[in-house]
Structures are given as C-alpha cells and as structure tokens.
Structure 1
C-alpha cells in the first residue's frame, strides 16, 4: 500500500509541475464551454436571435403592403427591403437567412384564387441551404400574414372591386334561374352586412392609438403557450451542456497524455526500472489508473466550479448522482489511458490514433452538438460510446434536474467500459511482460 501511495503521489506531482499542460486542461474547456454555451442560448437571460430576412416587394397593391408591414412587425423577424439581385446575393453569401419575393400582381391574383384555387400566384423563397429549419419557420409566419390580409381584402365591403361585391353582382344576375346562386347571394349579403356593421361602429375610423382600424380577415384560430419541460424549476441553461461536453473532451485528452507518458517511460527505460522494483505489475498499473482518475476528477470539479460561479450552471438534480457520474467518467479516462499505453507502439503513432479516436467519441457522444439533433439511427448507434453516457449523465444531473435513478444507468455503463478497457490493457501488459 505504501508503494501504491508513493506512485500516485509521484504522478500527481509530475502533472502539477507541468504548468502548460495544467493550464491547457483547465482553461481550454472553460473557454470553449463558454463559447458553445453562448451559442446554445446561454443562461436564458437574453432573447433569442431574430431571423434575418430580405423582402423583395414587386407588387404595389394594398394587400401586399399590409403583408410586408406584418412581416416587418413580427418579433421573430428582422426584415430588410432589398432588390431581387441584392437579396439573392446576400442569401448566397450567407449574410441573410432567407429572402421573400412578393411578385407583381400578387394581391389581385391571391384574392381571385382565394376561393377558386386556380392560378395561384407564387411567392419565391430563397434560403441558405444550411438553414432548413429557418425555411419551415418562415413559411409558417408567411402563411399567417398572407391569410389574414388577403382574406380581409376579399371580404372588404367598402371596396367596389372586392371579391365580396363583385361576386354579389354576378350572382344576383343568376339568382332568378339558379337557386344555389340565390343562396350564395344571401350568404355573401350577410357577410357584407356584418362587415358594414363593423365599419359603422368604427365611424371616425380611429382606435385609441389614432391608427385606422384594419378590415376583418381570417386570423389564426389559436395561440400557443410555450413551456420548457425540465424537472428543474430553473430555466434551461445552455452552458450546462457545453461545459459537460468540453469537460469530457479535455479530460479524455488528459487521459491520452497519461497513456503517452507510459510509452515515453518505456522508451527511456524508466518502465523497466519500475518493473524491476519489488512491486507487482498490477500495483504499478493500479497506481497509474488511480492517479489519472484523481487528476480527471479534479479537473472536472474545477471546470464545473467555474461554471457554477461564473455562468450560473446549477446541479439541479442529484448531487450524489453528479459526483457518481464524474467519478465513473474519471475511471473511464484512466482505463482509456492504460489502453493507449498497452497497445501503442510508439508515442507519436499512439498519440495520433488516440486523438482521432477521442474526437470521434466526443463527436458521437453529443459533446459538441446535443445528441437529440442526430438522426434516430445515429442516436441508437452512439449508445455504444462511453462519452454519450457521460454527457447525458451530466445533463441529467444539471439542467434536466433528474434524480439519482437517472444517473445509475450512466454510471453502470461507464463502469462497464472501465472494466473492458482496463481488462484489455492488463492482459496486454502481462502478455508483453511474459514475452520479454
């Protein structure tokens, strides 16, 4: 036991004496975690960004002007009126998310097609192909504004050329011979009478704010109430996920360094000296693993302490579960380092392969982008990656606010990977020792 403690103490002193590696392990995950957390919405204290949209107005009808005014007043949009060439150029270069083109004659054509469904005018939408989600949102907003304003124009009783008045005139001439036309005349006449009543009530034409009242049109028959669902009473904090992801990434990098250190010790003959000492191979490997795990857990604790103090990240779930997930990931990191040392041929070759494998695990584990954004098949595939369980476990204990029962599966799977990596490393070390 004295030899084990001495070996662990030696590894800790060596790690702390390397100031460059220490700063890299502590500062880089904090800087990147803060950056990605800001992109993911931060602590929820700021409003979400608006969608930058160009509006190309080729129609001068009253309906198109109202549609344009509605789009400009939408809180989710930042609308700029541009020419068609300017709008296409800015979208092509990624300076705007999308462009909406209201074609010439759109207002009149839309009113004609409102009931007939024929000769529908086309609204051209140009969008950045990397912003597919923006296209769907923009279509929904455009539908709302077009329906509301075109229907108001269609049922405008005050305009002689409105669909309502022209239809009544046409149907009145057919009413004597066609009973259905007579019924339509009565129906449209009721609509006209209702619109006229509304107009007479607003005699003087102004509301409390002094603006003319708009005609009645079809509006969305519902509203929405948005509620973020977490077990925590606090708002979602994007920094919680980003710090979890960056912690996992840079702690694994530290595990790579621990494995490379063994390969360097082999090259310099230090490893053979350790094996020649009255210490078993298992004791040496256990000391390496424990020292690496202690360093990994210390880095994790420091990173999340900064996240809690500076970025308002909270462990809203089980504190015991958070510590358990952290300890299990520290053990995964330690066993991963031993695996690199066991199967690596040279420090240079082993570092390149280990960095590549780590980046793949980090990417698939959802450390950079949340795994729920992956396709379903990829989400299922990443369950075979230890980093996925680590990141999900930290998410569950922080912003999701779940209990210890949610941490136990993540802990169990990580312990399984620890046994797998550690067992393979021990087998390879013993095999090499026998061959030597």
Structure 2
C-alpha cells in the first residue's frame, strides 16, 4: 500500500508541475466551452436574436405597404430596406441570409389570383445557400403576412373592383363547370357585401362631416392567423443553459486527451528504460498499473470538477444533483484512466500511438455529441452512437445540469462508463501481463 501511495503521489506531483499540461487540459476546454456555449444559446437569460432580412419594396400600393409593415412588426425579424441590387449583393457575399422582393403590382395581382388560382404573381426571394433553414422560416412568416393582407384587400369594400373582374371571368365558365358556378355564387354574395359596406361607409362619412367629427376607423376584414402560440421552455430543473452542454462536451474531449498523454507517458518511459527499472523495484506490475490508473482518475476528476466550478461561477451553470455529478465525474474518470492504459498496452511507439489515439478520440467525441448536441443527428446515427462511451458521458452530464435530473437519472450512464472502464482496463492488464512473459 505504501508503494502504491508513493506511485500515485509521484504522478500527481509530476502532472501539477507540468504547466503546459494544465493549460491544455483545463484552460483550453474552458475557452472552447465558452465559445460553443455562446453559439448554442448561451445562458438561461439569453434572448433569441432576430433574423436579418433584406426587403426590396417595389409595390407602393396599400397592400404592398401593409405586407412590409407586417414583416417589420414581426418580433422574429429585423427588416433592412434595400434596393434590388444591394439585396442581391449582400446575400451573394454572405452579409444577409435572406432578402425578399415585393414587386410592383404584387398586391393587386395576388388579390386577383386569390380565388381564381390563375396568373399567380411571383415574389422573388434571394437566399444564401448555406442558410437554407433561414429560408424556410422567412417563407413561413411571409406567407402569413401575404395571406392576411391579400384576403383583407379582396374582401374589403375597396376590393369590389377586383371582385367584379373575377365575376366577369367566372360567369363565362359557370354554365359548363359546376365548381365555377359555385364560385360565381360566392363572388356574387361577396360583391353584395362589399356594396353594402360601401354604402354604410358613405353614410358614416356624411354623418361625420355633418357633425364635424372624424369618421370611425374601418374594422379590419380578411383572414388572419386563428391562433397564437404560448411558448414555454420545460425541463426537470434549471432553465436551459447552452454553456452546460458545451462544458460537458469540451470537458469530455480534453480529459480524454489527458488520458492519451498518460498512455504516451508510459510508452516514453518504456523507450527510455524507466519502465523496466520501475518494474525491477520491489513492486508488482499490478501495483504499478493500479497506481497509474488511480492517479489518472484523480487528475481527470479534479479537471472535470474545476471546469464545472468555472462554469458555475462565470456562466451560471447549475448542477441539479451533486451526487449525480460526482458519480458521473468519477465513473468517466475511471474510464479515461483505463483508456490511457489501453493506449500504453497496445501502442507500438509514442508517435504512432498518439496519432491513432487522437484520431479515435476525435471520432468518439464527435459521435458522442460533444461538439454539437446528439439530437441534431439523424435517427439512425443517434441509435448508432449508443455504443460510444462519450455519448453516455455527455448525456449524463447534461442530465445533472440543465435537464435537472437526480442521481437516478444518471445511473445508466454511470454503469456504462464503469463497464467500458472494466473492458479497457481488463484488455490493458491482459496485454501487459502477456508482454511481461
């Protein structure tokens, strides 16, 4: 036991005196986690940014102006009025994701096509091909405004001329087509309604002039969205914090890099003969390997706790279950230490082992959702990544931070980490014992 404690103490002192390793394994993940966290929503108090949308307003009719006003009033958009050439130039150079052109005469043409379905006007939309998701969002909001304004223009008293033109087209076809006959009846009823509204408005204006008071505002007509959404972000505990996931992902990645350094250190010790001299001392191979594993796990545990202390103090990340977090940190630290021993056991040279281990680690953290959340992956890939230990590690740290789960919510990830630690450690010990014979 004294020899084991001495070996662990020696490894800890050597690591703490290595300022480069401390900077790489502690400072770098904090910096990268802060960057990625800001990209994925930031803290719980962060507000969703508006989408910059260029607007080329060529239609100066009432309908065209109302469509533009509706887009400008939308809380999700920041409208920038531009000329057609400016809009194309900004989108082409990546300064705008989407630009919308409301061409001249669009409002009148859209009202004419509302019931007939013919001669639909085109509404040009310029977009950056790398921002196709923005295109879908803007087209949805644009559809809402166009339908509301166009239907109001077609059904209001001022739209009686449009209705007359549509009636003239439909009546010629009504005798042969039953659907056109029904549409003719509808448009006739709409024309009567518009005529009545015009007469009523004229009476109101006359009465207002006689009394010297302004005429009452016209009541809005036309179709509008028949609902509003009530957006509520739900989680089991703290409000969502983008930094929580990024610290989990970057912590997992750089602690695995520490495990690689641990394994490479054993290979370097072998090359320089230090390993053989250590085994020549009155200590068993099992004691030496156990000492390395314990020291590596302690270092990994300390790094993970230090990272999340920074996350809590600087970025307001909350831990819902201290016991669950410590369980996840401990199990992941053991898996990392076993991973380092596996690299040392099967590595031929330090240079080759570092390259292969770094590549394998990057693949694991990528598939594990350390860089971007795993729910963004396709369904088949989400199922495939369940065989990767990093997926369980990241999900486990997410569970005890922004998801607000307790110890029972991370029992499965802890078990998986311990399982991988047993497999990695068992393979490493088997290889070391085989090479010693």
Confirm or deny a common fold (TM above 0.5): yes
Deviation of residue 139 (structure 1)?
A: 1.2
Compared with structure 1, are the counterparts of its residues 405 and 197 closer, same or farther at alpha carbon in structure 2 (3 Å cutoff)? farther
- Post-superposition shift, 1:38? 1.2
The CA deviation string for residues 251-272 of structure 1, in whole angstroms up to 9 with x for no partner, is 1111111111101101110000
Gaps of 5+ in 2: none
Q: Kindly report structure 1 stretches of 4+ aligned residues shifted beyond 6 Å.
A: 168-175, 198-207
Deviations 1:50-84 (A, max 9, x none): 11111123333221121112112222111222233
Question: What is the aligned residue count?
Answer: 425
1:55 is paired with a residue of what secondary structure?
strand
Residue 312 of structure 2 is aligned to residue 323 of structure 1: no
Question: Is 197-206 or 358-367 further displaced after alignment?
Answer: 197-206
Q: Is the 8 A contact 2:112 2:166 kept in 1?
A: no
Residue 217 of structure 1 and its aligned partner are, at CA, apart by 2.3
Quick one: distance in 2 between partners of 1:299 and 1:195?
A: 76
Answer whether contact 1:245 1:366 (CA < 8 A) is retained: yes
TM-score normalized with structure 1 length: 0.91
Find the residue that maps to 1:52 and give its secondary structure.
strand
Q: Does 1:302 align with 2:306?
A: yes
Q: Does the C-alpha gap of structure 1 residues 132 and 9 become closer, same or farther in structure 2, counting only changes over 3 Å? A: same
- Are residues 1:48 and 2:53 paired? no
Within a 5 Å distance, the mapping from 1:55-134 to structure 2 comes to 55-134=55-134
TM-score (norm 2): 0.90
Shift of 1:368: 0.9
Could you tell me how far apart the structure 2 residues matched to 1:185 and 1:126 are? 39
Quick one: structure 1 residues 115 and 334, their matched pair in 2 at CA, closer, same or farther if it must change by over 3 Å?
Answer: same
Equivalent pair of 2:160/2:194 in contact (CA under 8 Å): no
Q: How does 1:34-433 map to 2 (within 5 A)?
A: 34-158=34-158, 161=161, 163-164=162-163, 166=165, 181=184, 184-190=187-193, 193=196, 215-232=220-237, 234-316=238-320, 318-433=321-436
Farther off after superposition, 195-204 or 100-109: 195-204
- The 3 A distance-change label for structure 1 pair 38 and 187 is same
Q: Secondary structure at the match of 2:126?
A: strand
Write the distance in 2 (CA, Å) between the matches of 1:247 and 1:173.
74
Matches within 5 A, 1:10-25: 10-25=10-25
Distance 1:294 1:7 in 2: 13
- After TM superposition, the structure 1 stretch with the greater mean CA deviation from structure 2, 127-136 or 362-371, is 127-136
Deviations 1:360-402 (A, max 9, x none): 1111111110000011111111111111100000001100011
For structure 1, the 5+ residue unaligned runs are none
Q: Residues of 2 paired with 1:343 and 1:134: CA distance?
A: 48
CA contact (8 A) 1:172 1:185 kept: no
Change in CA separation of 1:171 and 1:368 when aligned onto 2, cut-off 3 Å: closer
Q: Distance in 1 between matches of 2:368 and 2:306?
A: 22
Structure 2 CA distance for partners of 1:77 and 1:183, relative to 1, 3 Å = closer
Q: Describe the shift of the 1:229–1:197 C-alpha distance in structure 2 as closer, same or farther (beyond 3 A).
A: farther
Residue 78 of structure 1: SS of its match in structure 2?
strand
> What secondary structure sits across from 1:368 in the alignment?
coil
CA distance in 2, matches of 1:201, 1:243: 66
Within 2, Cα distance between the matches of 1:62 and 1:283? 85
Aligned-pair distance for 1:28? 1.0
RMSD: 2.6
1:7 equivalent in structure 2:
7
